Amino acid sequence: MNTRRPRVCVAMSGGVDSSVVPILLKKRGYDVIGVTMQIWQESQCDPRHSGCCSLGAVEDARRAARIIGIPHYVVNFKDAFRKTVIEEFIDEYGQGRTPNPCVTCNRDIKFEALLQKATELGCDKLATGHYARVRYDKARDRWRLMRTLGGKKDQSYALYTATQEQLSRLMFPLGELRSKDVTRDLAREAGLAVADKPDSQEICFVAEAGGYREFLKNERPDMFEGGELVSTSGEVIGEHEGTAGFTIGQRRGIGVATGKPQYVISIDPNSKRVVIGDDHDLEQTEVPLSEMLWSGYTPDDMPMRVDAKIRYNMAARRATLVVDPEPKLIFDEPVRAVTPGQIAVAYRGQTVVAGGKIL
């Protein structure tokens, strides 16, 4: 008789969320191991920048695993991270788009490279500290990615790339908790030093002073060749130092004064022109999409009435998702600052329908 307990690999980033995951899984009777990905070489001393890639974060994860009483491993994914997340980040800005590197990291590193490593370590499942849920829909014979029970911390938006096969092996135990406060309380009860560790707010590889613009200047200085600032009517009203320094909807740092608030409306790296205009110029109802990935539903279910969001921190808005002739979201009311390169995700109730990259 096979009595082997299911083994779960927990992705431990060194933060409070992923440190609590193995505690919950051990209580459920799983055989748990912790794995920390080393994906970026820089070490940050400032606790605000001690994200999932700093050397200090690796040590935080190691200490947490020791207290919890589970094996802990560190895997080097620096090359894979550079080839996927960082290179895409640079290329997207070079083409006038604004990428979401966390989504790319989930897709290519956590759900591909790390899941493969979990398999090599004899694990049945991979668990992360994301606030989301996975459920199997027997009637539709599909796995569903769902919002967390604690709605304020929901992270399903950044997880939409998970395939059906990946969802069958993913676990998000924190999705059952009502709030981040509960997570911190559990960490304190276990005696974990990370219980009050601040959440990382920065992109891990551009956390230093200067932010992403300084990072891009070091990587691709050609992105910062000067060009023209033009109005929506085509009038040249100023100059800029490089299209990569702008994103759609930006107001500050444009470099020109017109006597009224002005915003970045569009970016053309080929002509090196940045169009600026009024706030109402940012509004549109139709959002074209590419690289669609389907979760709880399929293209055959379209068109569908959905709740959708075009950035992580916005409230979902009512829309219709269509795929014929091309995928797009048609919002009931105009949405502001639709940004090429960013991600749009559609929901039906608590379930992720699909997501795609904004064109």
What pLDDT digit, counting tens, does each position of 213-261 carry? 999 999 999 999 999 999 999 999 999 999 999 999 999 989 888 889 9
What is the pLDDT, as a whole number, of residue 254?
92
What is the pLDDT, as a whole number, of residue 2?
57
Among 35-49, 192-206, 209-223, 312-326, the range of highest mean pLDDT: 312-326
Interval 131-153 mean pLDDT: 93
What is the pLDDT, as a whole number, of residue 211?
87
pLDDT at 27 over 50: yes
**pLDDT bracket for residue 204 (50, 70, 90):** confident
Interval 171-192 mean pLDDT: 96
Q: How far apart are CA 338 and CA 289, in angstroms?
A: 11
What is the pLDDT, as a whole number, of residue 169?
98
What's CA 55's distance to the chain center, in Å?
Answer: 21
- SS3 for 107-134 is HHHHHHHHHHHHHHCCCCEEECCCCEEE
Interval 163-185 mean pLDDT: 96
% helix / strand / coil in the chain, to the nearest 5? 35, 30, 40
Backbone angles phi, psi at 158, to 5 degrees: -85, 0
Q: How far apart are CA 200 and CA 26, in angstroms?
A: 26
Strand order in the sheet with 236-240: 236-240, 227-231, 273-277, 263-268
**pLDDT bracket for residue 53 (50, 70, 90):** low
Amino acid identity, position 262: Q
- pLDDT tens track for 315-335: 999 999 999 999 999 999 999
- The full set of domains in the chain, from first to last, is 7-206 (3.40.50.620), 225-277 (2.30.30.280), 285-358 (2.40.30.10)
Residues marked as catalytic = 105, 204
Q: Of all helices (H) and strands (E), which one includes residue 291?
A: strand 283-294
